[in-house]
Amino acid sequence: MKLSSVNYLVGKGIKSVWKNKMMSFASFCIMLVSLLMVGLSVLASININKIISGIEGKNEVIVVIKDGLTDEAVTSLETNIKDINNVDTVSFYSKEEAWESMIKNMSQAEKDLFQYTDGDNPLPDTYKVSVKDIEKMAETTNRMSTLEGVESVKASSEFADVLISIRNIFSVIAIAVVIALIIVCLVIISNTTRTSVFSRRKEINIMKYVGATNKFIKIPFQIEGTIIGLLAAVAAFILTMFVYRGVFNLFQGNYQLWSILGINSLYSFKSIFLPVAVAYLVAGAVIGAIGTTISTSKYVKV
């Protein structure tokens, strides 16, 4: 195709956006709403998954160390725990720290009762261990319990099972919702684009009768659809940014409360700015171009 033809087709596509401004605006609004629905749903999905992962990270395993171990043996035990594949972090929690924490939370009557212990600390030294994948919790705790120097291993397996169930159920629901939204949006966009093309069917027929090829007819429509899609993507991105930052700031404003629940682990918009922008632009351009291509196919067959 000659450069002059390319310039003509691109120019015609750009002019068509303004020439058919009412239908262009209708297509723009439909694509804007559709992109927003899918985009916000995906962002909500990945953040909820991150929140669940944050809660999982708070599900600690307590490794009780046998009394009487030397410092070298305790250090060796820590190394052996860290060598287990599913272990994320390991922190030592001494019996002195545990005793101080326990005393701090006691009532005065309870403190008076413990005065008769003559300073004898009955609590053991422990390791607090966080795991990477709670689905492998049972396997990991079994490995820990076989290590030399371990008295016992305490883990909330019931809580881990509940988290696993919640994560699996949510993943299925999130995927189903996003797929359903994508299908609905594509149908709506296709119908809106078809209406736009239908209103210009005479123009297409005339071009066909004077010898224009199907490709020559479709390209201006594809360019028009791509431009509308890109404009809708930019608008959707800006609205998403304001909505997302508003929600993020709401959670950050109550940091301590959400931190307990693991919700402080939300992605900041700055960290996902580029992927979200690219995803919106690509989706808008592709959907706009494909929608007009499908819609014009019927009217070039004369």
Higher pLDDT, 119 or 271: 271
* Mean local confidence (pLDDT), 45-50: 78
Q: Judge contact between 227 and 289, C-beta under 8 A.
A: no
Q: Identify the band that residue 132 occupies on the pLDDT scale cut at 50, 70 and 90.
A: confident
DSSP single-letter state for residue 301: -
Q: Is the Cα torsion angle 47, 49, 54, 55 positive or negative in sign?
A: positive
Using the predicted structure, report yes or no on whether residue 116 has a pLDDT greater than 90: no
Closest CA to 194 of 30, 36, 34, 37: 30
Using the predicted structure, report yes or no on whether residue 146 has a pLDDT greater than 60: yes
Q: Report the CATH number of the 60-155 domain.
A: 3.30.70.3040
Higher pLDDT, 220 or 258: 220
Higher pLDDT, 114 or 131: 131
Bridge partner list, 129: 61, 90
Higher pLDDT, 217 or 262: 217
Residue 1 has a pLDDT of: 54
Q: Identify the band that residue 274 occupies on the pLDDT scale cut at 50, 70 and 90.
A: very high
Q: Identify the band that residue 241 occupies on the pLDDT scale cut at 50, 70 and 90.
A: very high
Query: Can you spell out the DSSP letters for 133-145?
Result: -GGGHHHHHHHHH
* Mean local confidence (pLDDT), 27-52: 82
- Give the whole-angstrom CA distance, residue 137 versus residue 88: 12
% residues pLDDT > 90 (the chain): 6
pLDDT digits (tens, 9 = 90+) for 64-95: 888 878 888 888 888 888 888 888 888 888 77
- Contact residues for 120 (Cβ-Cβ < 8 A; gap 6+): none
Helix axes 21-57, 157-198, angle to 10 degrees: 170
Token pair of 110, please? 């309870």
* Mean local confidence (pLDDT), 9-33: 74
* Mean local confidence (pLDDT), 242-267: 68
Q: Judge contact between 167 and 134, C-beta under 8 A.
A: no
Lookup result for tokens 């390319």? 6
Residue 289 has a pLDDT of: 78
- Contact residues for 145 (Cβ-Cβ < 8 A; gap 6+): 152, 153
| Amino acid, res. 98 | A
* Mean local confidence (pLDDT), 201-230: 76
Using the predicted structure, report yes or no on whether residue 113 has a pLDDT greater than 60: no
% residues pLDDT > 70 (the chain): 68
* DSSP H or E run through 62: strand 60-65
* Mean local confidence (pLDDT), 157-175: 73
* Mean local confidence (pLDDT), 245-249: 82
Lowest average pLDDT, out of 12-16, 40-44, 80-84, 227-231, goes to: 12-16
Domain locations in the chain?
3-55+162-297, 60-155
Category of 154 on φ-ψ map: left (φ > 0), alpha (ψ -120 to 50) or beta: beta
* Mean local confidence (pLDDT), 277-297: 81
